[in-house]
């Protein structure tokens, strides 16, 4: 009872204080009368403030009566001051017109903005809280970072910019499959989970990508039925209202040629009807013979401002890829890693290409209900078709000779996704509530034919990787039967996955003591129906809570704590006859965030622990029976450190370090696939990255610059379950990249050299094969990265 009295007393005290204060609301406009979004409005001599919404409106609560001065600031623009008088219990209304017009404000963002650091999340992540105040480790890779590093797709070195993020070089440029905190994270685009199988989605070409947001750990406001390790959200380019364009051309090692075009402008004179069009085409060879990856993409976006409060955006993306068999990346040898040349390929010339066509449509409607409430409704449809193959040996002998095999890989993915959510702000007494609530529904279907295969080599003419002979394989090229529709082939061979879900979520972030203390209370209820590999659908209903606390030590520093949950439904039959439970994941996290040098750069330190329970594995007492038992428990824990931003004028930095310890902690009796203490596959205990860029600000060399970076992976786990035999451990990894650039007016030249030290870099593991005599043999397998190579780009803005 004493605690209740104390809480009641605090509430009454806050209400009394609120009655003795006032508030100011208003709107910030550009010189041509357009609402100015993302303008900071503060009170001089105080930490209180707000950021304008899409209508240019702001609200600052709980101001002491008397004369105050508003500070109106915009990135790269001069701060303005405006006096305002506050009366207790009343609301003062002001309107401020900036000296810049709408187009100039966009130009200010481009030229004067912090190029390596972002302070806010995109609206597609649903939260309205600044990153500094969000009780979770969130990292944003900006468009400038992508440009400086010449990143051209999601799989192309992007992970170096985020602590603890790794990628096994398994799928080339077909799929990204990024791991973090000991597991593969979920792939999002514009706020939608677009994962429909372990093998997708197709990597986004950077030509239509604005930036990428990484959310560490579960995030119930975005996802509950997913891996608790986290997600990344690709935010695509949208119209800005400014008439401008950019064309670029890139050439590089191994016959790489790439061109892009970005057009941005108005379709109506009043600026209500806007467009954005991004085009890209690429031919790309490989350091291995017979490999190629040719792609093009078309991405038009249209935005229509229906009225002052309502905006509709329609976005279509087509990606087409024609590439060689991804299995050709593998090298196999029973003698050890890197015992064969990195230029080796198993793929013969003439093997039919894998072709992928990826279509997506996004519709987004935003309606500002009033100055405090906003409604968002969005719909997505994604359709992906693939016709190709995947290579894998069927026989490996002790001398390294092998029988190469090619299996069909035809697939189709279709997803229809919808979201409706509201963001709002309410003040009760002395407490400010940032509210979020909504519904998330989806239907996903994946069809695949993996059932057909053919050996390329006869037993009397095995392939010898130590002395490869290329040409038509002596057993002929595979001819697969595609007479039936893919759907029929998938059903008959079990290659069918289906998922339907509905999620309801609500979140309240309560701000105390002038929003210096923020308590997040949230929950998500998810109903999910899922079928895999032809099995009957499994249904799961699950509630996942979220509790977070963020405290501002000062206006530049915050500490936070978080408890969040996620779950992964799974299919199977338990020997005990009990109902199969979903995999549950619990994340506990603590962190410290700080902005330095007036917000030009920031640091984040996070400590976390993730527990995963109920994962199924085959019943060891009934092999090949189809029955399962629970594996036990997995745990991932570690520390992450990120720094990013403008350290000095012209000097930009992104750097990070992560210690990750992901291992099995409990194993069900009789299970042999893993034992307690085994590391979970596919991660490194120590991950460190850095990228530094400096541009000369004055003098004859103004606009010239130099950049460079490194990636270090230490104590790496293999791609498969580890073995106590240390011969199977992967060595440490170190890669050094660097380059020069020159910018003047509308032209930019960039030259980067990758793997400067020309190291033999790879990832891999071991696999159990049979010899031609039917004897068991363990072989190493690995995928080599490119030797020293370069890219030269020229970009022209108009």
Per cent of the chain over pLDDT 70 is 91
Q: How confident is the model at residue 75 (pLDDT cuts 50, 70, 90)?
A: low
266 and 213 within one domain: no
State how many domains the chain has.
Answer: 3
Q: What is the CATH number for 78?
A: 2.60.40.10
User: Does residue 443 surpass a pLDDT of 70?
Assistant: yes
Establish if 112 belongs to a structural domain: no
- Please give the pLDDT value at position 8: 42
Q: What is the DSSP letter of 145?
A: H
Report the mean per-residue pLDDT for the chain: 88
- Please give the pLDDT value at position 615: 77
Least confident of 620-629, 752-761, 780-789: 620-629
Q: What is the CATH number for 427?
A: 2.40.170.20
441 and 511 within one domain: yes
Q: Helix count (H) and strand count (E) of the chain?
A: 4, 46
User: Does residue 7 surpass a pLDDT of 50?
Assistant: no
189 and 163 within one domain: yes
11 and 38 within one domain: yes
Establish if 117 belongs to a structural domain: no
Cβ neighbours of residue 93 under 8 Å, at least 6 residues apart?
24, 25, 26
254 and 384 within one domain: yes
- Please give the pLDDT value at position 106: 54
Tokens of 636: 């991932």
307 and 222 within one domain: no
Q: What share of the chain is helix, strand, coil (3-state, %, to 5)?
A: 10, 55, 35
- Please give the pLDDT value at position 6: 47
Give the residue-averaged pLDDT of 96-104.
74
Give the residue-averaged pLDDT of 656-661.
96
Establish if 107 belongs to a structural domain: no
Per cent of the chain over pLDDT 90 is 62
Establish if 268 belongs to a structural domain: yes
User: Does residue 295 surpass a pLDDT of 80?
Assistant: yes
Q: What is the CATH number for 225?
A: 2.170.130.10
User: Does residue 641 surpass a pLDDT of 60?
Assistant: yes
Q: What pairing do the DSSP bridges indicate for beta strands 186-189 and 230-236? A: parallel
- For residue range 715-769, what is the model confidence (pLDDT) as tens digits? 988 766 544 455 678 899 999 999 999 999 899 999 999 999 999 999 988 888 9
Q: Would the pTM count as exceeding 0.75?
A: yes
Q: How confident is the model at residue 110 (pLDDT cuts 50, 70, 90)?
A: very low
* Better pLDDT: 374 or 681: 374
CA atoms within 13 A on the CB side of 270: 7
- Please give the pLDDT value at position 314: 98
742 and 668 within one domain: yes
What's the 3-state SS for 421-462? EEEEEEEECCEEEEEEEEEEEEEEEEEEECCCEEECCCCCCC
690 and 650 within one domain: yes
Last residue of a domain, one of 219, 236, 253: 236
SS3 27: strand
Count the neighbouring beta carbons within 10 Å of the beta carbon of residue 286.
Answer: 21
Q: Domain range for residue 41? A: 2-102
Last residue of a domain, one of 236, 269, 286: 236
User: Does residue 38 surpass a pLDDT of 80?
Assistant: no
User: What whole-number distance in Å separates Cα of residue 626 and Cα of residue 574?
Assistant: 9
């Amino acid at each position: 009872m004493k605690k209740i009295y104390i809480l009641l007393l605090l509430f009454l005290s806050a209400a009394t204080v609120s009655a003795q204060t006032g508030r100011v609301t208003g709107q910030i406009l550009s010189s041509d009368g357009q609402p100015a979004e993302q303008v900071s409005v503060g009170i001089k001599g105080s930490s209180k403030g707000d950021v304008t919404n899409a209508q240019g409106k702001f609200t600052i609560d709980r101001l002491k009566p008397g004369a105050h001065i508003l500070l109106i600031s915009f990135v790269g623009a001069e701060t303005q001051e405006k006096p305002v008088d506050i009366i207790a219990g009343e609301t003062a209304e002001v309107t401020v017109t900036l000296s810049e017009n709408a187009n100039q404000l966009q130009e200010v963002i481009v030229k004067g903005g912090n190029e390596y650091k972002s302070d806010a999340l995109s609206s597609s992540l649903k939260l309205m809280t600044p990153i500094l105040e969000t009780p979770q480790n969130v990292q944003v890779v900006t468009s400038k970072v992508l440009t400086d590093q010449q990143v051209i797709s999601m799989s192309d070195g992007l992970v170096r910019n985020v602590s603890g993020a790794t990628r096994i070089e398994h799928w080339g440029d077909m799929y990204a499959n990024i791991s973090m905190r000991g597991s593969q994270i979920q792939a999002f685009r514009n706020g939608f989970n677009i994962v429909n199988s372990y093998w997708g989605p197709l990597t986004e070409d950077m030509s239509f990508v604005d930036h990428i947001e990484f959310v560490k750990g579960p995030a119930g406001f975005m996802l509950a039925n997913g891996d608790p390790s986290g997600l990344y959200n690709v935010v695509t380019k949208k119209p800005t209202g400014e008439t401008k364009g950019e064309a670029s051309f890139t050439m590089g090692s191994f016959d790489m040629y790439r061109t892009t075009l970005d057009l941005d402008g108005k379709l109506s004179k009043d600026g209500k009807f806007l467009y954005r069009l991004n085009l890209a085409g690429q031919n790309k060879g490989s350091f291995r013979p017979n490999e190629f990856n040719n792609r093009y993409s078309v991405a038009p976006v249209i935005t229509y401002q229906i009225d002052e409060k309502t905006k509709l955006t329609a976005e279509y993306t087509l990606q087409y890829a024609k590439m060689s068999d991804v299995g050709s990346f593998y090298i196999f040898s029973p003698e050890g890693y890197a015992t064969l040349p990195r230029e080796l390929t198993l793929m013969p010339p003439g093997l039919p290409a894998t072709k992928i066509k990826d279509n997506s449509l996004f519709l987004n409607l935003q309606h500002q209900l009033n100055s405090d409430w906003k409604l968002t409704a969005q719909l997505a449809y994604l359709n992906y078709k693939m016709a190709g193959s995947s290579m894998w040996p069927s026989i490996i002998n002790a001398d390294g000779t092998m029988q190469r095999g090619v299996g069909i890989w035809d697939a189709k993915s279709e997803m229809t996704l919808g979201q409706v959510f509201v963001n709002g702000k309410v003040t009760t007494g002395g407490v400010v509530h940032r509210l979020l609530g909504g519904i998330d529904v989806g239907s996903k279907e994946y069809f695949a034919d993996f059932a057909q295969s053919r050996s390329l080599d006869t037993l009397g003419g095995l392939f010898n990787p130590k002395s490869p002979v290329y040409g038509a394989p002596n057993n002929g090229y595979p001819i697969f039967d595609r007479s039936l529709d893919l759907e029929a082939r998938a059903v008959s061979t079990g290659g069918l996955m289906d998922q339907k879900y509905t999620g309801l979520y609500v979140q309240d972030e309560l701000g105390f003591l002038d929003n210096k203390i923020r308590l997040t209370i949230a929950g998500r209820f998810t109903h999910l129906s899922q079928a895999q590999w032809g099995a009957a659908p499994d249904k799961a209903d699950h509630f996942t809570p979220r509790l977070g606390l963020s405290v501002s030590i000062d206006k530049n520093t915050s500490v936070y704590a978080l408890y969040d949950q996620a779950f992964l439904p799974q299919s199977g039959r338990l020997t005990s006859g009990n109902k199969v439970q979903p995999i549950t994941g619990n994340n506990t996290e603590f962190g410290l965030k700080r902005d330095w040098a007036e917000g030009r750069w920031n640091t984040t330190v996070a400590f976390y622990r993730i527990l995963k329970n109920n994962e199924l594995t085959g019943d060891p007492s009934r092999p090949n029976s189809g029955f399962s038992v629970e594996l036990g428990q997995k745990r991932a824990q570690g520390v992450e450190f990120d720094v990013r931003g403008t350290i000095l004028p012209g000097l930009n930095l992104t750097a990070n370090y992560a210690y990750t310890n992901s291992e099995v902690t409990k194993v069900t009796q009789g299970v042999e696939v893993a034992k307690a203490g085994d590391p979970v596959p596919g991660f490194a205990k120590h991950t460190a990255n850095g990228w530094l860029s400096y541009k000369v600000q004055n003098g004859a060399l103004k606009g010239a610059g130099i950049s460079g970076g490194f990636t270090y992976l230490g104590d790496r786990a293999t791609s498969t379950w580890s073995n106590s035999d240390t011969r199977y451990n992967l060595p440490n990894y170190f890669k050094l990249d660097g380059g020069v650039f020159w910018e003047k007016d509308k032209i930019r030249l960039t030259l980067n050299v990758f793997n400067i030290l020309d190291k033999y870099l790879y990832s891999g593991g071991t696999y159990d094969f049979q010899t031609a005599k039917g004897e068991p043999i363990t072989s190493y397998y690995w995928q080599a990265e490119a030797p020293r190579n370069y890219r030269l780009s020229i970009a022209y803005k108009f």
